[in-house]
Amino acid sequence: MAKLTFFQLLKAAEQQLAAAGQDTSAAQYLLLEGQEWTFTTLVQHYRDVVPGELTTTYQMQIKRVCAGEPAQYILGHAPFYGREFQVTPATLIPRQETEELVEWVLADAPSKISLLDVGTGSGAIAISLKAERPAWTVTATDISAAAVTVARANAKRLGAPVTFATGDLLASVQGKRFDIIVSNPPYIDRAELPVMDDSVKRYEPDTALFAADHGLAFYRRFAAELTTVLQPAGQFFAEIGYHQGAAVREIFTTALPTAVVTVKTDINGHDRMVRVQLKR
């Protein structure tokens, strides 16, 4: 095998990905994450010869991405809100858009609260909030026992004491009350399958992606059940689909007519989050 510099290895990988119709940015992502380098460090090593073992490993990773597998699952971890989270096919890959939901909760919540994260997946939301606000009492649930196992491991590794439970929606916390409930629930309509990214459809968990009733089923369930678990003046925050703002607002205003419902746009100007503020 001919010896390659890091620059040559990167460019060859980008060409492979382009030829396979995949996002070429995965080439740099795999190299930086695999080496725990910044882009500046990579540039400093551009002319260095890549060790043979690293070349073999990296080229195998690129083959897997060419076949459609997400780079984050190949590495086994993904960044979120300044931390690295273990991810597996039992969990969604954390998205940058969800960081904006975390920001909203942090900016809007009091200094000491009890918070519940529903559908925690890798634990990205719950653990990030606990890490940023150590005084908060944070509980996280998921219907998937495999996802909860991943979330527990992330919480332990990142030093964030979160209480975990396995169960559907609010079933595992009945009898308890929280100041805030936050969720990134399944909200994709299966009618959107033809336009979805192929790697998402093939590798990420269906149960964390799709919801009935045009993607609105979980918002209807939350609207019906929130008052059984939220404090009387509690708040509910959730991520929503970019085209669901009006429908989600109507669901909560109809079910909870005294609540204040706010739909918030993301950095791209799309409806992406909702907050429901209950009134005493």
Phi, psi at 142, each rounded to 5°? -155, 150
Range with lowest mean pLDDT among 1-5, 32-36, 83-87, 176-180: 1-5
**pLDDT, mean of residues 114-124:** 98
Is the pLDDT reported for residue 99 higher than 90?
Answer: yes
Domain 77-277 falls in which CATH fold?
A: Rossmann fold (3.40.50)
Segment 155-170, tens digit of pLDDT: 999 999 999 999 999 9
Band the pLDDT of 1: cuts 50, 70, 90: low
Q: Which two tokens stand for residue 103?
A: 């920001």
| Model pLDDT, residue 110 | 86
Secondary structure (H, E, C), the chain? CCCCEHHHHHHHHHHHHHHCCCCCHHHHHHHHHHHCCCHHHHHHCCCCECCHHHHHHHHHHHHHHHCCCCHHHHHCEEEECCEEEECCCCCCCCCHHHHHHHHHHHHHCCCCCEEEEECCCCCHHHHHHHHHCCCCEEEEEECCHHHHHHHHHHHHHHCCCCEEEECCCCHHHCCCCEEEEEECCCCECHHHHHHCCHHHHHHCCHHHCECHHHHCHHHHHHHHHHHHCEEEEEEEEEECCCCCHHHHHHHHHHHCCCCEEEEEECCCCCEEEEEEECCC
Q: What is the pLDDT of residues 195-250, one digit of tens each?
A: 888 888 899 999 999 999 999 999 999 999 999 999 999 999 999 999 999 999 99
Q: Where are the domains of the chain?
A: 6-68, 77-277
The better pLDDT of the pair 277, 194 is held by: 277
What pLDDT, in 10s, does the model give residues 130-185? Answer: 999 999 999 999 999 999 999 999 999 999 999 999 999 999 999 999 999 999 99
- Of the ranges 18-32, 49-63, 186-200, 229-243, which one carries the lowest mean pLDDT score? 186-200
Nearest to 217 by CA among 247, 262, 172, 191: 247
